Structure 1
């Protein structure tokens, strides 16, 4: 039985599907209880193109995780990625009726809801509405408007958009695997949560998550996400180039890339050669490691160039937007030898490889603390945060409910004869909207998520 303080992250990638079960220990670190990993069938460049095969892969990964942990999985937090994801900047405002009243969560929800009404291209839907900074009556650069008073509340938003069909197909795969959909998160955001420190997000950093089918980019500055992009090239493109360039099968190409591959051709001498077994009695094939690294180098440079173009589009060269913490690379592709040096050479920015070990408990297996599992760890963290948020909501509702009950006997005694039955019937619905502490509101995202769940329920 899945406990209240346990969350499950499901990373549906192009090359692998990972199910990870985790909980927070007494030190606030994430303890991984079980992990399941299977080959991803039916996903191309982050988009589901064969639901039946994807369901089978998801079920296998979940079964492995359950067997490793002894915990029965009921609900998951799933990641959204794929080449259909795009982002845009948008500014919007609301006019408040009472200028003297302080700005509350409700005002921010109204402003975010307005952004959700933006007209998108046919077949697209807004996934995330992420406020950047606010303006109150023309006063700019406000990070937290709650508690201030004013008539006009404005904000700049980073809006993430995706194809409705692709998002719904992921939801269907989860639902048809016999699982409950607890939440959806953009994969670059999940990876960022697991490998970036708050100091890096404040200073300005670009996270590059190199997956099998896509490379995801998330840029942070002043602790806020400023830009996201998905480039439809990843580690599989490098494997494909090796396969074509060396005339070998895909399995051998992947093995060559992982064992002997390098993104820097100068590292290999001309006489370094590796022998590949021939197919069905054919002679073995000899491959020069220098030529192998040249093939990898050209494709790696293409991927980095496209990412760097996005960083320039964000405005990295402006003094105010400078990314002082440089670049962090993560994902399976980040394990490629000398990729860090190549990224530094192409971009001229400080670079490090991002491991999710900072947020993991000390005794975690080294293999799990690999860049390969950065997204899955981030999804577990998001799921745990969501459970804490829901628990707080429940407690607030119960407190208000108990407060109402404590006052109720006096009223009931006074009006007992006339409307006792009516009062007892309406009582549970009194605490409709419990007051929340000042914190980033998730109501709009939850409303969108509820709409998706409702669609999936009706589709059956």
Structure 2
């Protein structure tokens, strides 16, 4: 072969099939693709089963033989080869993943990415359950439906809710399949220049570039299986396979007409023509049949196969038919196949087309004794894919570990970290632990602070999870952080800053509410903790009220809503309270008051010590005396401040620059602020 026919930019493609090896040498120019050499070799043993290498040594030697024959034909040494993994070894699963979210925060694109990754991770675990100790490449996934709080929704972003879900379809390729192909090629003294998938290779030839943005199915009807792939928006989103194809039709013919398998194949091909079909059965008797007879015989089988194919297409496409179907492979040439498939998918017959010889029109076969045939669609596609440099396997490094990654032409950082097995939860910000407590019997929760997202470096520069990647990129990840536990003081509760008002001797008195935490009174500076039981009382006892008013209660006759009250009598908002010093009451009044308890002299504490302190209130010094200890409310006895008139929206009270309450303790030298704001 002359150098002109085989220029330096030639490519060596090898279709490693279950029954045979097809080696192709060719090159691409502005006029199309030119095949300058081809070698077909059938396997001597069952070293390949269902598209997977079972005997690496045997397959490697067979590849070497094909390589050497092609080298002699083109008079050149071959070092690199393009190969493809069979579509039938792909595993596709459908899963539903759920994720709890903050109901007060709008759903972001990162939330959706995280949900999708949860779905892919769940699908990966399901695939691994069937076979242990086998790793899988995710070669494609697509969200079929999203749900918000259990209801289907088109787009989650921007909404609020407590739970989001996704119905997701993901496809995986066993790592051992890829490793087996690489090992067999290495035995032949070759390196893998490009590794793609057979459905991708077939698509490169069978489906024009401008059609791939559409939602299309490609069906490769082979001998034992029918491989299916679904395209959308320029990418393959799903793969599938059904275990029935052309051989099943041939077997039906063989059984009915009593012929061997090879003769049945010829009869099947003849059914697509108009002339009579002549054959000899196993008895040696010559028979003649009409093509219509064969079509009538095989129609039930074809109908069942097309029904199964249609069901699989709809399953892979999220429960709905595609816009069009392209059929390749010898099994699809049986008369009526495309028509019946169109019927099952409820598509016009013109939308389901057999792609055979016509798709190879732009391919020149400069090879003797080789005709353009649908069987060569995949081998030619493997070669063409090399020039596209898409939909193959590339190597990237994630945190120092080199991994192989299937390139669907839309690879991002998130695909690489997922394939590397990096934990999903370490990519996105993590909230700190929440503080949960009860307030007046109602459960409440303070959410933890959000942490920082993972820091992603691509080739040393900071980037995002959705940044596109290329082969040999270096990706380094610094895991996301956990946010802090929240801090909230009692006085930050709205309920704490409300007051209760009582009418005491005709005057309305506003009193702060008491806050009990786990049974003990706490000030506003108390930090709420998980498990706290907080009670904000809406009443005072008589004793608490008079203590707040700094009025001794023991020498008083106290009436609450016209009833004589004891120290523990509850006083609710707007209750009327009246009191009178017993020393001012007549003997008859005292006798009439059965509830008044005489105070025994022995009950009066002796040697009560009193302290005197000086505090600074709004830059004015005041002295408090006559008590053992003092609280903020005692200031009102010595400092002129009218509590009955509101001078603003908020009463500011601080002790040494710290927010205070009426019951906050005072100390000598304290600096106090008291004013309306």
TM-score relative to the length of structure 1: 0.64
Alignment match, 1:419: none
Please state how far the C-alpha of 1:313 moved relative to its aligned partner. 1.3
- Aligned partners of 2:17 and 2:364: how far apart in 1? 27
Change (3 A) 1:80 1:390: closer
Alignment match, 2:441: none
SS in 2 for 1:202: coil
- Aligned partners of 1:444 and 1:160: how far apart in 2? 24
Alignment match, 2:228: 217
- Aligned partners of 2:473 and 2:223: how far apart in 1? 28
SS in 1 for 2:202: helix
From 372, 375, 380, the counterpart of 2:375 = 372
Change (3 A) 1:71 1:246: farther
Report Cα offsets for 1:204-246 as digits up to 9, x if no partner.
2111011223211111123332321022223233333333333
SS in 2 for 1:183: strand
- Aligned partners of 1:313 and 1:7: how far apart in 2? 37
Alignment match, 2:21: 17
Change (3 A) 1:4 1:371: same
Change (3 A) 1:3 1:245: same
Say whether the 8 Å CA contact 1:115–1:129 is kept in structure 2.
no
Asked if 1:286 corresponds to 2:296, the answer is: no
Change (3 A) 1:128 1:18: farther
Asked if 1:127 corresponds to 2:128, the answer is: no
SS in 2 for 1:121: helix
Alignment match, 1:205: 216
**Which structure dedicates a bigger proportion of its chain to strand?**
2
Alignment match, 1:73: 78
> Which deviates more from structure 2 when the two are superposed, residues 113-122 or residues 175-184?
113-122
Report Cα offsets for 1:1-21 as digits up to 9, x if no partner.
998733222212233321122
SS in 2 for 1:233: coil
State how 1:109-188 maps to structure 2 within 5 Å. Answer: 118-119=124-125, 120-123=128-131, 124-130=134-140, 132=142, 159-188=170-199
Change (3 A) 1:33 1:114: farther
Asked if 1:307 corresponds to 2:309, the answer is: yes
Say whether the 8 Å CA contact 2:13–2:23 is kept in structure 1.
yes
SS in 1 for 2:389: helix
Please state how far the C-alpha of 1:22 moved relative to its aligned partner. 2.6
Alignment match, 1:86: 91
Change (3 A) 1:276 1:189: same
Change (3 A) 1:380 1:44: same
- Aligned partners of 2:337 and 2:231: how far apart in 1? 22
SS in 2 for 1:213: coil
- Aligned partners of 2:392 and 2:194: how far apart in 1? 12
CA RMSD of aligned residues (A): 5.1
Report Cα offsets for 1:24-83 as digits up to 9, x if no partner.
2145x3332322222345234333445565445434443454444444322222221264
Say whether the 8 Å CA contact 2:90–2:240 is kept in structure 1.
yes
State how 1:330-369 maps to structure 2 within 5 Å. Answer: 330-349=328-347, 350-355=351-356, 361=362, 363-364=364-365, 369=372
Alignment match, 1:244: 255
Change (3 A) 1:204 1:268: same
Alignment match, 2:39: 36
**Which structure dedicates a bigger proportion of its chain to helix?**
1
- Aligned partners of 2:57 and 2:82: how far apart in 1? 20
Q: How many residues align?
A: 378
From 258, 261, 278, the counterpart of 2:271 = 261
- Aligned partners of 1:446 and 1:251: how far apart in 2? 54
Report Cα offsets for 1:186-211 as digits up to 9, x if no partner.
21122112211233222321110112
SS in 2 for 1:297: helix
TM-score relative to the length of structure 2: 0.45
Please state how far the C-alpha of 1:335 moved relative to its aligned partner. 3.4
Say whether the 8 Å CA contact 1:261–1:293 is kept in structure 2.
yes
Say whether the 8 Å CA contact 1:22–1:32 is kept in structure 2.
yes
- Aligned partners of 2:77 and 2:168: how far apart in 1? 39
- Aligned partners of 2:37 and 2:174: how far apart in 1? 32
Change (3 A) 1:339 1:68: farther
> Which deviates more from structure 2 when the two are superposed, residues 1-10 or residues 11-20?
1-10
Change (3 A) 1:174 1:239: farther
From 381, 385, 389, the counterpart of 2:388 = 385
Say whether the 8 Å CA contact 2:36–2:366 is kept in structure 1.
no
- Aligned partners of 2:57 and 2:393: how far apart in 1? 32
Say whether the 8 Å CA contact 2:306–2:341 is kept in structure 1.
yes
SS in 2 for 1:5: coil
- Aligned partners of 1:445 and 1:236: how far apart in 2? 45
Please state how far the C-alpha of 1:185 moved relative to its aligned partner. 1.9
- Aligned partners of 2:389 and 2:117: how far apart in 1? 19
- Aligned partners of 1:86 and 1:131: how far apart in 2? 11
Change (3 A) 1:434 1:304: farther
Alignment match, 2:206: 195
SS in 1 for 2:307: helix
User: Larger relative CO (CA 8 A, sep 6+): 1 or 2?
Assistant: 1
- Aligned partners of 1:298 and 1:193: how far apart in 2? 32
